[in-house]
Amino acid sequence: MLADLANDLKLLIRSRHPVISIETADEQRAIELVHRVAHELDRPLFEWSSTMGLVRRRPTPSTGPVAGTESIRHAFAFVHDASECSIYLFRDMAEFLKDAVVARKMRDIHTVFAREGSTLILVDTHATLPESVRRLAAPFDVKWPCTEELEKTVRDAFQEARLLYKVTTDLSKRQVEQLVQSLRGLTVGEAFRVVSAALYDDYKLTTDDLPRIIESKRAILASSGVLEAIPVDVNIDDIGGLSRLKAWLARRRGGFSTKAAEFGLSPPRGILLLGVQGGGKSLCAKAVAADWGMPLLRLDPGVLYQRFVGESEGRLRQALSQAETMAPVILWIDEIEKAFASASSASADGGLSQRMFGTLLGWMQEHRHAVFIVATANDVSALPPELLRKGRFDEVFFVDLPGPAAREAILGIHLKRRNRDPAKFSLGRLSMVADGFSGAELEQVVVSALYSAFSQGGELTDAVLEAEIKGTKPLSVLMSERMEELRDWASGRCVPAD
């Protein structure tokens, strides 16, 4: 993988691209790649950051920065006037390029380098370059570490630990592959630290470390604030009703397999679940992941929007790229209307919503990775119409309030989950009393009834459950007009989930 990336980057440099832009969360990997390419091309390499100034890295490394180049303006002046055909690596330039003088100087460098053959490589972690500069730079994607790189990282972590301590491992080749698979979506540095932590805990690397490694990965993803690895602790039978949706998912269960591809099938792309709050839409995402045996990632649209121009689009692209790396995976976009509501109308965000929405739509249309999207929405009126067009999703389902049979099943599921025998309750009658209740509201009925029985020193009975049902005002009563509007819109446009 690194060899292929090096060849691609060398091709850009040899093609005399004056400026190359690398946007990546794995800064160290990008820097190592540039150093490797400079060595293979036998080019002088200079590296600049705001903390160290411009330092010569090869062929003869300097002991300190070039005099006076701590300032970005002075560093650019040196680069502009240098006569030697070199590679210049500059870190974190997005913010500096908002300065009109710095941006102008970079355009001047672009002109000089196009003529003389030097290359300026800009490495940024998240921020996006200003539009005036971005059009001059050839984008280069260093991608996320592949399986081979992560396997080498595991070996490196083990070898380093073995030099310091007496460490052992009993992992088979298949178990190592499973370990490496669990590390996908992390940078090389993150993967190294996760494996090292597992080794230094008990000086062993065994199958018992896999849950810990997965939990560490979940914490790292959560700290990024964009993607979150969700534990899959349910199965498809934990959802009452939704028979049509379940049947649809069952037919596509093997859609990502080699056998399906040989049969001539394209992998399933995703579903959009519209419907009332508490109807089980979010639970479906977990159930799909459990039923298909795939990891579940949650993309929180609310944390995509950042303060600085360009950062939001960069975070979205990073999240989608990370999901591709971790494929096969279920990507759950919860309450998708929150992120793109203003994309369908004039807004005060300077067109950010439209750009974000365009990025997502383009990716949904073009990606060829084993990423199945489960998007949920409560307010269909806030969704841009382009999102609902056929081809974006394989199907659009409407999740309505559960019917009598589904309510009975849901009550039974929650009673059984709390160590109660559903056969001892009159679930048919209770489900009729609970007409208009959502699945989430039925769960709270069981929870509240248990608290009532516990506080009274008694056992849970039909009477206690019925009292809780009658004492609850469901959303179907509190928001009846809005729900009827939603049903009217979905009629003829969506497939009923049940």
CB 89 within 8 A of CB 40: no
Please give the pLDDT value at position 182: 82
pLDDT in tens, the chain (498 residues): 678 899 999 999 999 999 999 988 888 889 999 999 999 999 999 999 999 999 999 998 888 899 889 999 999 999 999 988 999 999 999 889 989 999 999 999 999 999 999 999 999 886 677 877 888 999 998 888 888 888 999 999 999 999 988 988 888 888 888 888 888 888 888 899 999 998 998 898 888 888 888 888 877 777 666 788 888 777 777 777 788 888 898 898 888 887 888 898 888 889 988 887 777 788 888 888 888 878 888 887 766 665 444 566 777 887 888 888 787 888 998 888 776 655 555 454 556 677 777 788 888 888 888 889 998 887 776 677 777 776 778 888 888 888 898 889 899 999 998 999 999 999 999 999 999 888 888 999 999 999 999 999 889 999 999 999 998 888 777 777 777 887 887 787 788 888
136 token code pair: 């001059």
Q: Please indicate, yes or no, whether residues 304 and 390 belong to a single structural domain of this protein.
A: yes
Structural domain of 165: 147-224
- Return all residues near 424 (Cβ < 8 A) that are at least 6 apart: none
Q: Please indicate, yes or no, whether residues 343 and 424 belong to a single structural domain of this protein.
A: no
Per-residue exposure over 320-339, b if at least 16 CB sit within 10 Å of its own CB, e if not: bbbbbbbbbbbbbbbbbbbb
92 lies in some domain:
yes
Q: Please indicate, yes or no, whether residues 373 and 243 belong to a single structural domain of this protein.
A: yes
**pTM higher than the cut 0.85:** no
3-class state of residue 328 by DSSP: coil
Please give the pLDDT value at position 479: 76
Helix axes 27-41, 2-14, angle to 10 degrees: 60
301 lies in some domain:
yes
Looking at 399, 415, 449, the residue that finishes a domain is: 399
Q: Please indicate, yes or no, whether residues 382 and 279 belong to a single structural domain of this protein.
A: yes
Alpha helices, H only, 165-239: 173-183, 188-202, 209-224
Please give the pLDDT value at position 8: 94
Please give the pLDDT value at position 445: 92
Write the DSSP string, 338-370.
Answer: HHHGGGGS--SSTTHHHHHHHHHHHHHHH--SS
Number of domains in the chain: 4
Helix (H) or strand (E) holding 19: strand 19-23
d(CA 281, CA 446): 20
Q: Please indicate, yes or no, whether residues 131 and 188 belong to a single structural domain of this protein.
A: no
Place of tokens 């691209």: 17
Please give the pLDDT value at position 344: 52
Q: Please indicate, yes or no, whether residues 38 and 57 belong to a single structural domain of this protein.
A: yes
